[in-house]
Structure 1
């Protein structure tokens, strides 16, 4: 079964395509007469009614790179699907009027939200990693973004310095990160054992949770979280953990909630919290524990 024909009502009065679809009003008659005269003039001056599709095809590629879908381009240009793809694939010469309509479509601004242009993927990847460190599964994140979980996993394991993503993907992930930062997946229906498993997996990979990041740090190529550095020593890691616990304590979270969120032992969090509030640091050795006073 063939594709249904475009009705006359799809075109404005005066457009020759409306006349060819049966409209015989005065405006459409005038329009088709003018088109015929123009075609005769072009042929008489050696230019003809058809042109190479190269210029229109390059413009289509430009529009796509600025985030416009093929359907959006077709709608704005007023060309049918068959003509559009014949132009895009440069299969044959096209009507001069079709080229004019394609070239008349203005590209979107690069900074327009939800566009499909490519952007550096660093911020997107690190935000997804941070959410995983908080316990959010790829399936949950994919559901929020309208993508399959494997797409999320692929991004999380990509190189932040070389990967590029579509602008709309970056926008969705940024909004999702702002929405979920500091929240527990368990409070949104996630199974506690699954969230804990994801936290531990992220910790093994050196991914820092959302509590560690300021919003501007994700996209800053010069910012390197110490927890993701394989060369980090025990003292640096301990300082980072203390900073994370201190930050979460400011939100009046319990020791158990902080431990669950950071993937740590609750007793360890309780000891650190006591050190912060009392100024007494407990040093654990392989043989025994010793306590000494430190500056708060």
Structure 2
């Protein structure tokens, strides 16, 4: 897989490391096969296109040369679509799922993640009218947008921003009458909506993801004990389950700050905090051991740091 001058993403680097190890091992066994079937890769690209991420956007996000995936989607030089793809390229594509920030504001995206965020906020007590006001839209316009098959990435990002601000906030603490918030909560419960603690930020826009109240969606693995291998320093791509395991370990047993954990796992600080609170809430509900920060993490003194920098 040739890459452009763009710095490779962690998914690409991990895929390269896995590919190199597997190549050496299988060559030694006389079983070296550097290719994967192209159909699963093609199906994943179709799924990405359905949510508004075209092939060229995937190539750019993964640091690939222009048209690097053309032979998979449409064929090149008069030949039909390829039946195989290099293992390195295939694993990089299959391990990629775009974040909202990967889309330009003008892009047209599927509304599923936005709907999930709005429904999760309703579980907390925030109505659609209040969310619309928060993002500067009229209620009617906002309601109609959520009914469409596609919405603008700008609207999806605005809702995501409001979600990050409001998911842990009680409407009553922001001047919303208690009867209003209670009515929204009761209706959300009757409609079977899932709250913020049911979703990981990395999965909420993914149509294949399930709320954590349901069974985990099957996903390709990188072998056994992925989380343990990651913590021991091996270059692997974490799936959703392994990522949560690593996050809980880092939060409970290390002195890394939330900011450092977020940077290490390529998450937002809000997402790390939400996952941590979700894990504690689930443990309390199930009567299990509630995780807690066992290592003292000193708080940053911003004023002192600024004074030291000025000196």
Q: TM-score range by the shorter chain?
A: 0.3 to 0.5
User: Which has the higher Rg, Structure 1 or Structure 2?
Assistant: 1
- TM-score, normalised relative to structure 1: 0.38
